[in-house]
Amino acid sequence: MKQIKTSSAEETYKLGVSVAEKLNKNDVVALFGGLGAGKTVFAKGIAKGLAINEQIISPTFVLLKEYDGGNKLYHFDLYRIEDEEELEHIGFYDYLGVGGICVIEWPENAQYLPECIKIKISGSGSDNRIIEIEGLKI
């Protein structure tokens, strides 16, 4: 596990860009952290690193946003998920391993996750962030 400290949203974003450069098709990235930790900022960095130029927004109310910049990105936000049936209803498990990269915010709300890259972001507001990366060499 690698631990990195970031001091701003920009640094967190840039770390997301760096992580994207190491990802392969079918990778699943699980982003753990509380509200305001920077999960969406990190996801925006991943999108930029995958050459996706669309505006990345948190899919909290729609649960999934799909992006394509030559690389497919499936950005999930499972914050509002209450049970496994909801995941099945949106086809969550059908997206895993279909050639794109899945980035999942609030992955702890999924009962099952395949082998994945785990990123835990600690801190909120104007605090520094401690970002722990497991399953990917940085």
Residues 63-103: tens digit of each pLDDT: 889 998 888 999 999 998 888 888 888 889 899 888 899 99
Amino acid at 121: I
Domain 2-134 = CATH 3.40.50.300: yes
Judge contact between 117 and 135, C-beta under 8 A. Answer: yes
Residues in CB range of 89: below 8 A, 6 or more apart: none
Q: In the chain, which residue ranges form alpha helices assigned H by DSSP?
A: 9-20, 39-49, 84-90, 92-95
Q: Given a cut of 80, is residue 62 above it in pLDDT?
A: no
Q: Model pTM greater than 0.85?
A: yes
pLDDT tens string 37-55? 999 999 999 999 999 988 8
